[in-house]
Structures are given as structure tokens and as C-alpha cells.
Amino acid sequence: DAGVTQSPTHLIKTRGQQVTLRCSPKSGHDTVSWYQQALGQGPQFIFQYYEEEERQRGNFPDRFSGHQFPNYSSELNVNALLLGDSALYLCASSLEAGGLNTEAFFGQGTRLTVV
């Protein structure tokens, strides 16, 4: 089992550009959540996807958007990048079971640097 895989591992973008990060969930998982971890901070919840819909969202601007595909993989898109968007972006997957989610498994993250 490959676990949660994210790509790319590192990325450098210029202010104002757009970026797409990708996540493949652990086999058998159907729910994907995205987190932003700034340097020296704990991860902050961005949003969660289930059945190809955004189920809940954290306190992030509309520049952050996402998508979930029928195979449960997911993308995180960030438009009009700011220097402050530089962070480690973590994807977590879990299984929705009877209204509750099982343990979340995290990927190794994508390190985004905005210059």
C-alpha cells in the first residue's frame, strides 16, 4: 500500500502565478482534506472533499480551491500567489463510515515557495 502520495514534492512559483498540487489518497479511502503548514506552525485546515464535493472549509480565501475526481484523488489550486502562501501543503485521506471518518493518514507534503 503506497499510502497517501502527493506531487510535486517541491515547487517554486512567482507572485501572482497559479499553482496546482495533487494528492492520491490511501487505497480504500474516499475523503481528502488539505492543510497548510507555515514554517514553525501547526497545520491549518483548508478544506475537505467527499463524493467530489467540498464538504467543509477552513478560514482561507477563495483563491484556494479544490477538486476531487471520481477515483478520489484531489487537487488543490491556489490563484494569484502571495509570498505568504509559501508553506508545506499536506494532504490527508480517510474513509467515511456511517457519518464518522476513520483515522486520517497524511502524505509527505508539497513544499511551495513563492518568490
Partner 1 sequence: GNSVTQMEGPVTLSEEAFLTINCTYTATGYPSLFWYVQYPGEGLQLLLKATKADDKGSNKGFEATYRKETTSFHLEKGSVQVSDSAVYFCALSDWDDKIIFGKGTRLHILP
Enumerate binding residues for partner 1 (CB under 8 A): 4, 31, 33, 35, 40-45, 48, 56, 58, 90, 92, 94, 100-101, 103-109
- Give min distance, CB of 107 to partner 1, in A: 5
> Least distance from C-beta 8 to partner 1, angstroms?
14
Nearer CB in complex with partner 1: 20/44: 44
The counts of H helices and E strands in the chain are 0, 13
Task: Write b or e for each residue in 15-34: b if 16 or more Cβ atoms lie within 10 A of its Cβ, otherwise e.
Answer: eeeebebbbbbbeebbbbbb
How near is the Cβ of 15 to partner 1 at its closest, in Å? Answer: 26
Q: Please, which residue, 83 or 100, has the CB nearer to partner 1?
A: 100
**Kind of pairing between the strands at 10-13 and 110-114:** parallel
Q: CA 46, 112, 104 angle in degrees (round to 5)? A: 40
In terms of CB distance, is 22 or 105 closer to partner 1? 105
First to last CA, the chain: 36
Q: How far is the CB of 80 from partner 1 (least distance, A)?
A: 25
